[in-house]
Amino acid sequence: MRWLLVKDLQLLRRSPLVTGLLIVYPIVLAVLIGLAISRSPEKPRVAFLNQIPSGGGLNLGDTGFSQDEARRELCAKIECVDVSSRAEVEQKVKDGDVLGGLILPVDFISKLQGELSTNSSEPATVDVIVNNDDPLKAQVVDDRIRSLLTEANLLISEKISDVAGNYEKILAEGGSFEIPFLNQTVHILGLRKAEKLLNQVESSLPPDKRAQVAEVSGFARLARQNLALADSLLSSIRQPIAVNKDVIAGSVPPLDTFAVAVAAAITLLFVTVLLVSGSLALEREENTFTRLTRGLVSRTALLVEKATLGTAAALVVTLLMLVAITPFQSIEWSRIYLIIPAILLAGAASSGLGLAIGAAAREVRASALLAFALALPVAFISLVPSGTVSKGLLDVIHVIAGVFPFRPAVDALSGALSESGPNLGLPLLHLALLTVGYLVLARLALRRFA
Amino acid sequence: MSEADRVLEVEGLSKSFGERAALREVSLDVGRGELLAVLGPNGAGKTTLLSILAGIAKPDSGRIDRSNGEVGWVPQQAALYRRLTVEENLRLFARMEGVEDIEGTIERMLDQTGLEDRRHDQVSSLSGGNQQRINIAIGLLGDPSVLLLDEPSSGLDPSQRIRLWEFVAGLSKGGTAVIYSTHQIEEASHYGDRLVVLADGETIFDGSFAQLRRGAGPRPEGTAADPENDFVRFLRKKGH
């Protein structure tokens, strides 16, 4: 078996394209993944047309938003490309120069002001212009705009809540405030002082009037006490829904680590399956299978040799990839004692799949085609998260993903790369069982291999 | 044939694939250094017989005695790694055969095949004839007393074919019994000490070419003296 392994390595050395691919593929993938996860998402470019007359701002009591302030807030979240007309917005969107267009109409502030002060039924609206030529882009723009509007609404409600809280304080404790638009300062006595004054005058009143004054004084006390409760009420308006997250199943690694695990598993799966299936099919194409198994090596030993080759290649390629990704994403190399077993078992299971494919296809080209045709959709559906498809379909996906090594390889690598990842035991056992199962399948398929 | 000279003894071999009988009660003895040609039309059972003798397929019934030495096998298509060199192929299979003097055996095989100057060439760069010589050399690595060749000259041009048969004749002279299958009576008549003719899985002739020609009966007037005509006449006479 040792000499067969040496022979396969010699053959690899004689195939510079395949060997080059084995080295370049993980490095290129690592660099791409590294660049993707190390750069924060870029701000979407949005054409911005502000038709509001200059100087106009939103007044909320003694506070509000100036146009400059609002623009700063908005352009912190998107890359605002200033334009001068609606036609220019439409052209930029159409040309793909910007992801979308945002137009603040002339009457936007006045309508918003009216809505806030007089409960006007006409809502303030912004115009959004998008190009729905790409469903993914359309979804991104839609999500982004919804998110911006939610943030804007939240900001306004926070300001309103602050203003209302201030009014409530003045009403209870007394003080002064400015009336918007009139530029006039008003002094408010406050409920506490009113109650105090009433209590003072109560003793000097005739007994038949005291009860009435005591009633008014009691009302002032009760009103002040209840206004104190308004603070928490206003807070709840500011953020009506709070999140309390309970994790009932699964432990997830950081998203970046998960991305590295997925990239490593894809690399490992493709390289190993293609290498092993091709190597086994080559024995038949070269007519050497019968010569070898006539007494030089058993069929099972031949399969074990190919699986060893695949597992060794998986180890080298995956470690190479992790090393290449290290400048972009911190890898916890202190967990190497977990990373290596995860790679080895993922490599063994992928080799097993490669053997089954190679034994079934019997030709190098057919095996490569079959390997791609199987590995690509399996990797794709294995990443479908629960809740995004119906339960029945999800069950089917789980079954399909469970009989292929990709998903357990991702879980094993996630668990090995990060402490907060899934427990390693189950995925490693899963991979070991898949290895044995695929070896049995390949051994059966070899009956009609020669 | 004396017991000491006999290197392979086969008795009553039968093999069926489903309903179809590929071999029926085939028996033969092979002596040291003998060149035995197994002839027959397509589907006669030649490859099945050689596969069973090589140990690749199992007979349904019958007995094979290989006690007087190893049996080497050379498949019809060259079973070589085309991206490895001639020497690397020989070394790999010598190691796997458990040959003791690997380098000495490689040198002997290169000398025997006349491919010393091509030892570092990849097999894919060799001609079909030279690939077949390496193919046979690998079959000889275990130093067998019997070498089985499955249609060794198929796909070779006439000059390559002549060189191949000279090589095989050299093996026979060296004491290695060679059993080869062919459907070319001319080759068998030139390079076979003995001919075994199979038809529908049965042995219908076992003897020299001269005996076969006599068995074919008189040549019709106007036909040329041609081994192929003699063979066809023989088959027709036997009802095939």
Nearest residue on chain A to B58, alpha-carbon basis: A294
B54 lies within 8 A of chain A by CB: yes
Lowest mean pLDDT across A139-153, A360-374, A401-415: A139-153
Q: What is the Cα Rg of chain B in Å?
A: 18
d(CA A295, nearest CA chain B) in Å: 9
Interface test with A, best of B51, B56, B136 (most A CBs within 10 A): B56
Nearest residue on chain B to A283, alpha-carbon basis: B81
Quote the CA–CA distance of B173 and A332 in Å, as a whole number: 69
d(CA B238, nearest CA chain A) in Å: 34
Share of chain A above pLDDT 70, in %: 85
A291–B73 C-beta distance less than 8 A? yes
* Nearest CA among A306, A331, A305, A301 for reference residue A318: A331
Q: What SS3 state is found at B57?
A: coil
Quote the CA–CA distance of A59 and A123 in Å, as a whole number: 17
Nearest residue on chain A to B73, alpha-carbon basis: A291
In chain B, positions 74-133, which contact chain A (CB-CB < 8 Å)? 75, 77-84, 88, 92-93, 95-97, 122
Q: Which pLDDT does position A353 carry in this prediction?
A: 95
Considering only CB atoms, B54 lies closest to which of A3, A294, A296, namely: A294
Quote the CA–CA distance of A29 and A313 in Å, as a whole number: 16
Model confidence pLDDT, tens digit, residues A72-123: 777 887 788 899 999 998 888 888 888 888 888 888 777 777 766 655 567 7
Chain A environment of B95 (Cβ under 8 Å):
3
B83–A290 C-beta distance less than 8 A? no
Share of chain B above pLDDT 90, in %: 27
**Tokens read off for A256:** 């970046």
B232 lies within 8 A of chain A by CB: no
Residue length of chain B: 240
| Percent of residues in chain A assigned helix, strand, coil, to nearest 5 | 70, 10, 25
B122–A288 C-beta distance less than 8 A? no
d(CA B188, nearest CA chain A) in Å: 25
Q: What are phi and psi of A409, to 5 degrees?
A: -65, -40
Q: What is the Cα Rg of chain A in Å?
A: 35
CB pairs under 8 A between A and B: 51
B79–A291 C-beta distance less than 8 A? yes
Would you tell me the crossing angle of helices B158-173 and B102-113 to the nearest 10 degrees? Answer: 130
Task: For residues A291-318, give the mean pLDDT.
Answer: 92
Q: What are phi and psi of B65, to 5 degrees?
A: -110, 110
Interface test with A, best of B77, B83, B84, B123 (most A CBs within 10 A): B83
Q: Which pLDDT does position A64 carry in this prediction?
A: 67
pLDDT of residue A429 exceeding 90: yes
Q: What SS3 state is found at A350?
A: helix
d(CA A96, nearest CA chain B) in Å: 51
Q: How confident is the model at residue A242 (pLDDT cuts 50, 70, 90)?
A: low
Considering only CB atoms, A297 lies closest to which of B78, B83, B96, namely: B96
**Tokens read off for B75:** 């498949």
Nearest residue on chain A to B98, alpha-carbon basis: A296
Nearest residue on chain B to A291, alpha-carbon basis: B79
Count Cβ atoms below 10 Å from residue A12 Cβ, excluding itself.
17
Chain A environment of B54 (Cβ under 8 Å):
294
Burial A45-72 (b: 16+ CB within 10 A, else e): bbbbbbebeeeeebbbbeebbebeebbe
* Nearest CA among A291, A299, A287, A282 for reference residue A443: A299
* Nearest CA among A285, A305, A283, A279 for reference residue A294: A283
d(CA A252, nearest CA chain B) in Å: 47
Q: Which pLDDT does position A20 carry in this prediction?
A: 83
Quote the CA–CA distance of A440 and A355 in Å, as a whole number: 10
* Nearest CA among A142, A106, A110 for reference residue A123: A110
Q: How confident is the model at residue A336 (pLDDT cuts 50, 70, 90)?
A: very high
Nearest residue on chain A to B54, alpha-carbon basis: A294
pLDDT of residue A247 exceeding 70: no
Give the global pTM.
0.72
Pairing between β-strand B61-65 and β-strand B177-182 as defined by DSSP bridges: unpaired
Lowest mean pLDDT across A175-189, A360-374, B49-63: A175-189
**Tokens read off for A376:** 């690509």
A290 lies within 8 A of chain B by CB: yes
A4–B84 C-beta distance less than 8 A? no
Q: Which pLDDT does position A394 carry in this prediction?
A: 84
More confident residue, A305 or B19: A305
Low-confidence stretches of chain B (pLDDT < 70) are 1-4
